[in-house]
Amino acid sequence: MKLVLGHADLLAKDNRIKHLFNPAPIEEIRERKPYRKFCIYTEAEGYLIQDIIGLQPQREILPIIYWKDNERTSQSLFEEFTRIGYNITKKDILKAIYIADKKSY
């Protein structure tokens, strides 16, 4: 957590950086045991950054990443981008996820 806070503080002080992107990969659904895997620390990380270094909520993008569920991930990204004032369609987000997934294999 110290490392995350140090990086966030450094980035937040740089006037060239408009937003910090801090996704929370909360859950992974697997076909074998353990069927669900998640990390409680990543769920709260973005809010701790806001609280500890005083980062304004509109400067941080906090989507939830659902591994292997592009629909839920794209909805979370869409809600975050809308919250901070960006007009990015869910269709464009899904397309970007598809392209990223395709290039990762």
pLDDT of residue 105: 61
42-68 pLDDT tens trace: 677 777 888 888 889 999 999 988 878
List the structure tokens of 48.
């701790």
Domain map of the chain by residue range?
2-103
> How much is the pLDDT for 28?
67
Can you tell me whether residue 101 is helix, strand or coil?
A: helix
Provide the residue type at 97 as one letter.
Answer: I
* 25, amino acid identity: P
Percentage of the chain with pLDDT > 90? 48
Instruction: Quickly state the pLDDT bin for 96 (edges 50, 70, 90).
Output: very high
